[in-house]
């Protein structure tokens, strides 16, 4: 195995996937069989500056270089060879947000992430104008909000992109974007595979009414589908990614994608009636549709797969961050007692205890809102834990309710899709850190959406691997082969998967919890209003 891997690395028969997630940048190198050969990563964190969530560009490059350096060191350690070339390369990142550049490619404002909810007026106006749900975090909502707010930088905007598109542009010199990520900037016409031309005209007219003659077709990145060429790693890009100078230029690059797209790839959820849930700082579900929705729902975004097929997305701004905070607190307590517990054991012990909790959480209640949550119409969030005098306050119930809280807003959106729209779902795959502890998040998600949930080997680190797989598809697809066929025939044919069916008692318990959750939302709103 090591000899074969070394030969693949030396010959460049590999693919590199990099994903800039909310709290960690990951890099994964895969071989010809799509199995991981090495991995690296670097932690980073967003900042709340001037009441907006952002990351500094210095942090982007420092963390990206650190993740690549750790990957290269892992290649050397495991396979005894220096990493100097890759067969293909792809970059993904958090979807949506606002990166506005001037004619020289310089940022005009700090990066505004998907987490910001100040764009409500623009999102509401655009949704009414277009007859299409435009979420707060979409790039066009950020642009129009900047216009409504009279921001001076708008006059100098020459290019808009996402974080993945920005990094890809610096590495390749190409201003392109994968269709899945592009669908979080502006609505896509699935018939043409590009931006909706009629909606472009409507928004340009709206902007002109505010004194801005902006041409969105010139500002937005060129759209590319999975497998399409998207440039190659330039000498400057190679030095930017690997300042040591070991990495050579020339690797073909696939279209940059959003983390939702890589999640679909990592879970083989790109065919109609399949779906996946990704859980990290945010939590979202993607369901590939057989037909368009019957009407507009503010809880459901319409985006696409990396191949351009229509997807209903339930995106919740708040995922597992509050759960992580409680786990760290318990770790501090253990340390104060003189007991040092590693992070993996701490998470495993606490999350597993949730399985012993009462199906409804024993009457406890929690809100995981660190930021605003558009699905429940909250512009800002305040984490809360509540209980009544007669609730059953145990560790098992507490941890169950923290997990339920991370799934609650997702459930509200999924009810709209499954109950109101009647969307059929044959299987739901799950990936992300929430599902790393075996069987726990998987079982409670199955209860929350009353659907069997499957996880695979890529459940915890799937995004970067999914991006590497898209890079491999770009480099090695056969004539006429689509992404669905490639994944089914060459990637997942022998995949080991584990499926958990919903437990009827837990399904009934979650129903009780979600009723209390909705009833308690005024308490969360009151807390947010306190400032």
Structure tokens at 315: 């995106």
CA separation for the pair 467, 262 (Å, rounded): 5
Residue 29 reports pLDDT greater than 60: yes
Lowest mean pLDDT among 216-225, 393-402, 484-493: 484-493
86 close to 238: Cβ distance less than 8 angstroms: no
Residue 1 reports pLDDT greater than 60: no
Count of C-beta atoms within a 10 Å radius of residue 389 = 6
pLDDT for 461 equals 54
Count of C-beta atoms within a 10 Å radius of residue 466 = 31
CA separation for the pair 445, 277 (Å, rounded): 9
Per-residue pLDDT of 268-304, as tens digits, reads 999 998 999 988 888 999 999 999 999 999 899 999 9
pLDDT for 459 equals 44
Per-residue pLDDT of 115-151, as tens digits, reads 888 899 999 999 999 999 999 999 999 999 999 999 9
Opening angle at CA 169, ends 49 and 252, nearest 5? 140
Nearest to 408 by CA among 531, 515, 274, 298: 515
Percent of the chain past pLDDT 90, that is, above it, reads: 81
Provide the whole-model pTM: 0.84
Structure tokens at 423: 């969307």
pLDDT for 460 equals 47
119 close to 137: Cβ distance less than 8 angstroms: yes
Q: Determine the 3-state secondary structure of 107 from DSSP.
A: strand
What residues pair up with 384 in beta bridges, in sequence order?
367
CA separation for the pair 432, 180 (Å, rounded): 19
Nearest to 276 by CA among 413, 461, 435, 428: 428
366 close to 401: Cβ distance less than 8 angstroms: yes
What residues pair up with 222 in beta bridges, in sequence order?
176
Residue 11 reports pLDDT greater than 50: yes
161 close to 276: Cβ distance less than 8 angstroms: no
What backbone phi and psi angles, to 5 degrees, belong to 49? Answer: -120, 125
Greatest pairwise CA separation for the chain in angstroms = 66
Residue 112 reports pLDDT greater than 60: yes
Per-residue pLDDT of 214-272, as tens digits, reads 999 999 999 999 999 999 999 999 999 999 999 999 999 999 999 889 989 988 999 99
CA separation for the pair 318, 316 (Å, rounded): 6
Residue 87 reports pLDDT greater than 60: yes
pLDDT for 303 equals 94
Mean pLDDT of the region 455-475: 83
Residue 457 reports pLDDT greater than 70: no
Per-residue pLDDT of 341-385, as tens digits, reads 999 999 999 999 999 999 999 999 999 999 889 899 998 899 999
pLDDT for 281 equals 84
3-state secondary structure 177-204: EEHHHHCCCCCEECCCCEECHHHHHHHH
CA distances from 85 to 233, 238, 246, 442, 468 (A): 10, 10, 8, 38, 14
Structure tokens at 5: 């891997």
Where is pLDDT greater, at 2 or 459? 2
Lowest mean pLDDT among 48-52, 100-104, 309-313: 48-52
Lowest mean pLDDT among 94-103, 264-273, 357-366, 458-467: 458-467
CA separation for the pair 509, 194 (Å, rounded): 44
Cα 61 off chain centre by: 19
DSSP 304-331: E-TT--EEEEEEES--SHHHHHHHHHHH
**Mean pLDDT value across the chain:** 93
């Amino acid at each position: 195995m090591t000899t074969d891997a070394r030969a693949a690395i030396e010959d460049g028969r590999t693919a590199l996937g990099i994903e800039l997630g909310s709290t960690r940048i990951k890099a994964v190198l895969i071989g010809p069989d799509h199995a991981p050969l090495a991995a690296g990563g670097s932690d980073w964190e967003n900042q709340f500056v001037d009441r907006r969530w952002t990351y500094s560009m210095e942090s982007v490059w420092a963390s990206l270089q650190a993740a690549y350096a750790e990957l290269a060191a892992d290649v050397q350690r495991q396979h005894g060879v220096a990493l100097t070339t890759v067969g293909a390369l792809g970059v993904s990142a958090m979807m949506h947000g606002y990166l506005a550049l001037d004619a020289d490619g310089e940022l005009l404002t700090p990066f505004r992430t998907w987490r910001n909810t100040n764009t409500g007026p623009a999102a509401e106006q655009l949704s009414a104008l277009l007859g299409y749900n435009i979420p707060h975090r979409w790039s066009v909502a950020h642009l129009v909000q900047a216009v409504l707010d009279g921001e001076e930088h708008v006059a100098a905007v020459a290019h808009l992109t996402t974080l993945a598109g920005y990094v890809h542009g610096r590495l390749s010199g190409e201003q392109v974007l994968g269709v899945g990520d592009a669908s979080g900037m502006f609505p896509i016409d699935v018939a043409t595979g590009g931006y909706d031309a009629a909606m472009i005209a409507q928004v340009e007219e709206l902007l002109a009414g505010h004194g801005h003659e902006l041409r969105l077709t010139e500002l937005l990145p060129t759209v590319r589908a999975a497998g399409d060429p998207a440039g190659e790693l330039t000498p400057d890009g190679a030095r930017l990614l690997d300042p040591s100078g070991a990495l050579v230029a020339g690797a073909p690059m696939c279209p940059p994608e959003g983390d939702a797209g890589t999640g679909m790839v990592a879970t083989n959820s790109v065919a109609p009636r399949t779906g996946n849930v990704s859980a990290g700082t945010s939590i979202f579900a993607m369901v590939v549709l057989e037909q368009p929705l019957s009407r507009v729902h503010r809880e459901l975004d319409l985006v696409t797969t990396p191949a351009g097929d229509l997807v209903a997305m339930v995106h919740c701004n708040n995922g597992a961050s509050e759960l992580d905070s409680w786990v760290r607190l318990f770790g501090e307590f253990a340390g104060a007692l003189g007991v040092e517990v590693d992070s993996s054991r701490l998470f495993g012990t606490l999350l597993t205890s949730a399985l012993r909790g009462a199906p409804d959480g024993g009457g406890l209640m929690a809100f995981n809102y660190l930021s605003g949550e558009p699905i429940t119409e909250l512009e800002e969030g305040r984490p809360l834990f509540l209980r009544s005098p007669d609730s059953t306050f145990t560790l098992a119930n507490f941890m169950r309710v923290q997990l339920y809280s991370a799934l609650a807003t997702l459930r509200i959106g999924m009810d709209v899709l499954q109950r109101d729209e009647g969307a059929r779902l044959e299987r739901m795959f799950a990936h992300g850190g929430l599902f790393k502890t075996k069987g726990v998040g998987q079982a409670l998600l199955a209860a929350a959406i009353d659907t069997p949930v499957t996880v695979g080997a890529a459940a915890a680190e799937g995004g970067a691997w999914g991006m590497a797989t898209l890079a491999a598809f770009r480099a090695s697809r056969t004539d006429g082969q689509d992404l669905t066929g490639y994944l089914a025939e060459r990637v997942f044919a022998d995949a080991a998967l584990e499926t958990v069916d919903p437990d009827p008692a837990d399904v009934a318990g979650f129903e009780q919890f979600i009723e209390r959750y909705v009833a308690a939302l005024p308490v969360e709103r009151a807390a947010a209003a306190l400032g």
